[in-house]
Structure 1
Amino acid sequence: MTGQTITRLAVLIAIAFAGPARADKLLGEVTVGAGKGVGSKPVLRDEIIATESLGAAELEKTGATMLTEALDKRPGISVQTECSICNVRNVVLNNLPGRYTTLLIDGIPIFSSVSTAYGLDSVSLGGVERIDISRGAGSSLIAPEALAGSVNIVTRRPTRDEFIAVQQLGSYGHWNTDLFGAKTFAFGALTANFNRNAHDTVDGDGNGVSEYSGYKRNLGGIGFFLDDIGGFHIKGRLDIVSEKRMGGAMGDDYSAVKANETGNPFDWRGGRNGSPDSRGWIRPDGNFAQAAADGQNPILLPGGQVLIPYNDGRGGMSEIIFTDRSQFVSSATRKLGQGNLRFALGVARHKQDSYYEKALYKAEQSQYYLEASSQQPLGEMLLTTGITYRYEDLSSTGRMADGTPNDGIDNYVYRTPGVFVQAYQAFLDGTVEVNGSIRYDDHNVFGGITSPRLNVLWNHNHELNSRFAVGRGFRAPTSFFEQDHGILDTSRIVRQISKAEVSDNASYALSYAGDRLAWVGSLNYNKIRNMAMIDAGATDPGTGAPITLFTSAREPVTVIGGDLTMTYKLTPELTGTLAGERHNYRFFEPGTLAFARPETRAYVRLDYESGAWTGMLRGTWTGPMDLARFYDYDNHQRYNFDGTEKRRMSPSYWVFDLRGEYRFDKRWSAFLGADNLFDFKQSDVESMLWVDSAGNYDVTHIWGPNRGRFVYGGVKFIL
């Protein structure tokens, strides 16, 4: 389907249908809260755009302390770890790359590729009313860069004075303190929240190199709600984040690790297929002469194997990242004639001071978002119009591991004014509802880009409905952090990207909500053109210095998937859920779709509520992954530290989580839980570390859990 065809459909169909306009369609960003549903809410909200909502009770039931924990292990939604040392994580929708998921705070996009690399773990759940997830390109009217979809965190407006304190302790030195307070008054409310979260580094295979990074995180924020200021309803929040994390060497002695850059403090014999010698690992091609020429100081073992000794100290296998972030978002809405008017503002400052295996990288980023929009009835149509302005920059300084400066290797400045229009109508007495939108953005680098979308909701009856959607989104590639956060030992990045990434998406969802049974099935088609890629192995033809090429794929990447979730109320106290998903990946250029992905996942869950007791048990089955295909074994075979080849297919595996809570009275409750109950982790099967045929190592061979059984417990106090 061409862009012109999509545009015509979005505009003409939305205008053509006649019928009574519904006044409950929100302006601009469509977000949803509680709706029809039973048990663990597989049923979509009563909105045109297929949107799943996770309320505060659901977040508490799963024991989530951060956004990534709250979103993981759900059909069509997962969290992908992209580094076994620093644990960069991305929220993945429809199994598309994490950079295609846009995070919004109260409908305002204020995160980028750099800030989400570690920032997603630092999004506080304090004072959250719900989290809304919409899958599909263009699902967000104000965030066309959400090629996979959007995640919107909605702040809760308190209705009374309150104080909530949660103290949690767990395995691996885990400590989590959550404090939330609210004060209401005649014309509004104020809130404040604080979170302190800490966790030790975890080494599952005994080689002294962690798979789960340790961190110390402090989050704080205030929120305000003003019900009537000159006719405006105003809400806003200020959040401040400070985080220190380290992976690789064990512990949290950051300065000592940076100062220790020689010697071998690790035992490379640890784990499955570990090296036969603690001093280093085997060079798989066995070429002693070339290893010497490469400066690897090889050792010829008695059996004829070539050992590459490690001599870079604790620092050479460690990544240390300090993050400081402050962000402010606010919106103001008021009645305007028969409709309403909305203004929105977002401002963020993000700083990263990092050490990547001897290389240094410091970055500062500013982001601004402005929006003015209005929603008005126009005859039998509800029309939303608006303008937006987005600003994003990045300025970095750095030093390669050998001390060579590489300041500004990923600097950029993006300015993007945009306009949008959305038309809504219902016909056949509201049986069919149509929402068509189109927006135009004038990007200062990639030029004018049009993003249309059409959504149709067909209410078959009170219990059954269908949702159809087709749309397009675009995304301007930013920096190498979208692909690989740690490519810093390079003299420069050569940008060869001339086109924005573009996604065409089509989806269908059929949902049913009865008295005891609820289910929803969805099909999704996503075709990405101009997908950004990097080549970190290039060299400068003149100087021979290492460079990184930032390019676009010549062929499109297509991901087609479907998922089904069924929930049944077994008894008034017990609810069961079964779900499954299946995906097909079509990509022709190796490396375009980075990091392994399963074709199949299955989910099972039990929820129990009776009197003072609340309980949850869930299991997630992950099917095999074609590691040889995703990691391009044909051209870049991966090896274990003993010189043997890495597995071509990962095994399937189950992960079970359990949590229970007991309320002593209206104020006090206690909870106990365990994630990964049966202690399965990837390091039981093979290491997340790998080497190529020449013995060069990397830390990105990831397909399974990086932490074993995690047991936690705590108390909650409500005043």
Structure 2
Amino acid sequence: MKLINVLVLCLGLYAQGQNSYEITGRVLSENQGLPYVSVYIRGSSLGTTTDDNGYFQLSNVAPGSHDIMVSFVGYKTIKKSVDISEDTKNLTFNMQYDDSLDEIVVTGTLKSVSRLESAVPVEVYSPAFFKKNPTPNIFDALQNVNGVRPQLNCNVCNTGDIHINGLEGPYTLVLIDGMPIVSGLSTVYGLSGIPNSLIEQVEIVKGPASSLYGSEAVGGLINIITKLPENAPIVFADTFVTGWGELNVDAGFKTNVGEKATMLFGTNYFTYNNKIDNNNDNFTDLTLQDRISIFNKWDFKREDNKKFSLAGRYFYEDRWGGELQWNKSFRGGDEVYGESIYTSRFELLGDYELPIDEKVNFQFSYSDHDQNSVYGNIPYLAQQRIGFGQFIWDKPLEKHDLLFGAALRYNYYNDNTTATLRPDEVTIPSLFVQDEIELSTKQNLLLGLRYDYDNRHGSIITPRVAYKYKPTGDDIIRVNAGTGFRVVNLFTEEHAALTGARDVIIEEALEPEQSYNVNINYLKKWYTKKGMIFTFDTSVWYTHFTNAIIPDYDTNPNQIIYDNLDGYSTSKGISLNLDALLATGIKGSIGATIQDVSQTENDVRTRQILTERFTGTWSLSYKHYPTNITVDYTGNLYGPMRLPLLGDLDPRQEFSPTWSIQNIQFTYDGFENFELYAGIKNLLNWTPNRGNPFIIARANDPFDENVEFDNDGNVLATQDNPFALTFDPSYVYGPNQGIRAFLGLRYSLN
């Protein structure tokens, strides 16, 4: 019987071989053979790549109807259905460039324009970029953007902000759909609650943008653009877990509500409740968190395609870090140290185009942020409310593209610190105008001016000029110059002022900071005959600050001193980016930034603390179409930065080492509507405790019960405290999380 089965099997295999076919053909682009293109039969393991002249051959193809897929990075994928009943030969596929490579941006000029045509250099990052290294929040997702660094500000509660070109987080304005809804207090905690699945793209402008966006857009801005409801999947979900026990879930759906409205609903949930102390200081290496964010966006159909969209978001987070034996019964006490933060905020934003002949939009936003925090036995109770509205009139004329705007911003801030004896409440009206002038077919000049009135500081005027020269269709030179200003709310921005034992000293009434910037940018795209696409983007910049407010950790190691700098500070550097779509199917990018950020006071020049000299980022992606597997390798590199020591006896390193975080991910998308992904984060298992005796000073005595002081308040070196230290968790420059695996699943129904 077994012999008969073997014979039947052999006959079947022989018959199958006799009834298999061969498919041959060629893939072209602009009448040139395109090499290394993936050609495969959908739903099977049969696949190949074209040769140097674009020819391909598929063998052992079973008879019947098949979908032949032709795919290559930088080009639109082609699907051709073929009914195979005899040898199929000489098929021809003509591939076209993917126009989506030329992104549409709005952040630089408040108008929707091609990135290549914008007079202001804007960097654009799509969801595909962030999927290469999945993260539970947009804060972590920015770690692979050149010149942008998520900076942790506390070893205990792990809060942070975003640095652009070496400038501190308060100089970065974060927008959602163009609205200044995340700023000050909410920047510190609010970046964690935007569901990644709802992001259409992220646009980044480096350098002052106060002429359009007002205060806080001094060092640059990040605009998080959410999906339009009609463009979102019907149902989507994305969830992953890590080896440390982190769980992140994104989910949502869209639906039509009646005939004139489309609604998009999304939610993000993140939880981590695993106490890990790999550096053995009895403090959690990563804060424990429970976070939920709910997002709802509506798009309404109106006559003449006039725009009306409305969105809202609610965010709640409960996070804590501290000694391993801490629980909520110790909250606010002085027995066991912990930093516990309850955050509740809601946001509303909208865009309404007026029903008139002219293109006039009314844009508005409102956010309400409530924070209940304790840092050991120090409470920090704060409320921040920001209301914003502006009219924008877009008026194109021959050779001129005009934009007029009138804005009103309401700021309310109150906390329980001595710095805020009464609520800080101010309404700031603004007017701005912008004109982009077409000098010739190759040259454009953009002029802008903004006027703000703050009753605390008077009138503030911020001009701007941008020049674009496009000698060829693939070369662009841009020169931008402008000013910026920032009105300071100290405790909404400086977490170090609230944690640890340092005293906060404010030596004078703080005046607004002013900045002057020039940026020169060159962008080049080129296409090879073998189907490779390269984009080279480089910028040099110089920013000069007056009235800069920089925390002084050096004058007295037991204090943080804040005042307006009696001098100036500068930020200057060069950045380079190279994106490549290679003929081998590899998609890669590499970026580098070299910068010098310093301050000069009384003719003494000092390098800014917690600012790296150089950074590097890279990503490599390759998809093997026959197996439906994509490999992503991402990483970053940071140069040394000066760190806040607690005195001459502090044994910790004054400068951080050069360090790198690297990740790898494998994604399988062979299932319909599903993607399965897995990988390893922090492949090098790097953590900042390497080479240091400890990271948190006096972790064994967080309430400084055994610290002795002299009559002037200086710490004395004793047998119990030989380095003359106080408890201080502000010596932080990188995450404490080591190597860890992750596993995730995505679902999308279009």
Please give the TM-score of this superposition, normalised by the length of structure 1: 0.79
Q: Which structure would you say has the larger Rg? A: 2
Which of 522, 532, 543 is 2:549 aligned to?
A: 532
Once the two structures are TM-superposed, the CA of residue 701 in structure 1 deviates from its matched residue by 1.1
RMSD across aligned positions (CA): 2.9
**Cα distance change, pair 201–587 in 1 and its aligned pair in 2 (3 A):** farther
Contact 1:157 1:189 in 2 (8 A): no
1:480 equivalenced with 2:554 (yes/no) = no
Once the two structures are TM-superposed, the CA of residue 621 in structure 1 deviates from its matched residue by 1.9
Percent identity at matched positions?
A: 21
**Cα distance change, pair 82–445 in 1 and its aligned pair in 2 (3 A):** same
Contact 2:211 2:464 in 1 (8 A): no
Once the two structures are TM-superposed, the CA of residue 552 in structure 1 deviates from its matched residue by 0.9
Contact 2:251 2:268 in 1 (8 A): yes
Which of 689, 696, 712 is 2:726 aligned to?
A: 696
Aligned residue number for residue 381 of structure 2: 362
**Cα distance change, pair 555–483 in 1 and its aligned pair in 2 (3 A):** farther
Count of residue pairs brought into register by the alignment: 608
Which of 393, 408, 421 is 1:374 aligned to?
A: 393
Helix, strand or coil at the partner of 1:514: strand
- Which amino acid letter does the alignment assign opposite residue 682 of structure 1? P
Contact 1:325 1:349 in 2 (8 A): yes
**Cα distance change, pair 89–45 in 1 and its aligned pair in 2 (3 A):** farther
1:562 equivalenced with 2:574 (yes/no) = yes
Q: Which shifted more, 490-499 or 569-578?
A: 490-499
Q: Please show how residues 90-169 of structure 1 align to structure 2 within 5 Å.
A: 90-138=161-209, 141-159=212-230, 162-169=234-241
Aligned residue number for residue 467 of structure 2: 456
Once the two structures are TM-superposed, the CA of residue 124 in structure 1 deviates from its matched residue by 2.6
1:637 equivalenced with 2:647 (yes/no) = yes
Aligned residue number for residue 271 of structure 2: 198
- Which amino acid letter does the alignment assign opposite residue 443 of structure 1? D
Contact 1:168 1:715 in 2 (8 A): yes
Q: Which shifted more, 491-500 or 682-691?
A: 491-500
Give me the whole-angstrom Cα distance separating, in 2, the residues matched to 1:415 and 1:84.
36
Q: Please show how residues 140-289 of structure 1 align to structure 2 within 5 Å.
A: 141-159=212-230, 162-184=234-256, 186-199=259-272, 200-228=274-302, 232-250=306-324, 254-258=327-331, 261-262=334-335
Once the two structures are TM-superposed, the CA of residue 335 in structure 1 deviates from its matched residue by 7.3
Helix, strand or coil at the partner of 1:347: strand
Once the two structures are TM-superposed, the CA of residue 127 in structure 1 deviates from its matched residue by 1.6
**Cα distance change, pair 74–139 in 1 and its aligned pair in 2 (3 A):** farther
- Which amino acid letter does the alignment assign opposite residue 432 of structure 2? F
Aligned residue number for residue 677 of structure 1: 683
Helix, strand or coil at the partner of 1:701: coil
1:419 equivalenced with 2:431 (yes/no) = yes
Helix, strand or coil at the partner of 1:118: helix
**Cα distance change, pair 149–647 in 1 and its aligned pair in 2 (3 A):** same
Give me the whole-angstrom Cα distance separating, in 2, the residues matched to 1:140 and 1:666.
48
Aligned residue number for residue 30 of structure 1: 110
Give CA deviations for 1:64-104 in whole Å, capped at 9, x if unaligned.
Answer: 33111221132111111111111121111111011010011
1:54 equivalenced with 2:125 (yes/no) = yes
Once the two structures are TM-superposed, the CA of residue 30 in structure 1 deviates from its matched residue by 3.0
Considering Cα pairs closer than 8 Å and 6+ residues apart, tell me whether 1 or 2 has the greater RCO: 1
Contact 2:215 2:487 in 1 (8 A): no
Give me the whole-angstrom Cα distance separating, in 1, the residues matched to 2:648 and 2:377.
24
Contact 1:137 1:148 in 2 (8 A): yes
Helix, strand or coil at the partner of 1:460: strand
Contact 1:226 1:234 in 2 (8 A): yes
Once the two structures are TM-superposed, the CA of residue 536 in structure 1 deviates from its matched residue by 8.8
Please give the TM-score of this superposition, normalised by the length of structure 2: 0.76
Contact 2:132 2:633 in 1 (8 A): no
Which of 143, 146, 168 is 1:75 aligned to?
A: 146
**Cα distance change, pair 461–553 in 1 and its aligned pair in 2 (3 A):** same
Q: Please show how residues 261-660 of structure 1 align to structure 2 within 5 Å.
A: 261-262=334-335, 314-315=336-337, 318-334=338-354, 336-337=356-357, 339-397=358-416, 408-409=420-421, 411-429=423-441, 431-487=442-498, 496-515=508-527, 516-534=533-551, 550-589=562-601, 595-611=609-625, 612-627=628-643, 631=644, 637=647, 639-640=649-650, 645-660=651-666
Aligned residue number for residue 278 of structure 1: none
- Which amino acid letter does the alignment assign opposite residue 329 of structure 1? L
The runs of 5 or more residues in structure 1 that have no matched partner are: 1-23, 36-43, 263-313, 399-405, 540-545
Give me the whole-angstrom Cα distance separating, in 1, the residues matched to 2:611 and 2:497.
21
Helix, strand or coil at the partner of 2:130: helix
**Cα distance change, pair 171–485 in 1 and its aligned pair in 2 (3 A):** same
- Which amino acid letter does the alignment assign opposite residue 137 of structure 2? M
Give CA deviations for 1:629-667 in whole Å, capped at 9, x if unaligned.
Answer: xx3x6xx52655xxxx22233221222111121113231
Q: Which shifted more, 78-87 or 55-64?
A: 55-64
**Cα distance change, pair 533–655 in 1 and its aligned pair in 2 (3 A):** closer
**Cα distance change, pair 259–502 in 1 and its aligned pair in 2 (3 A):** closer
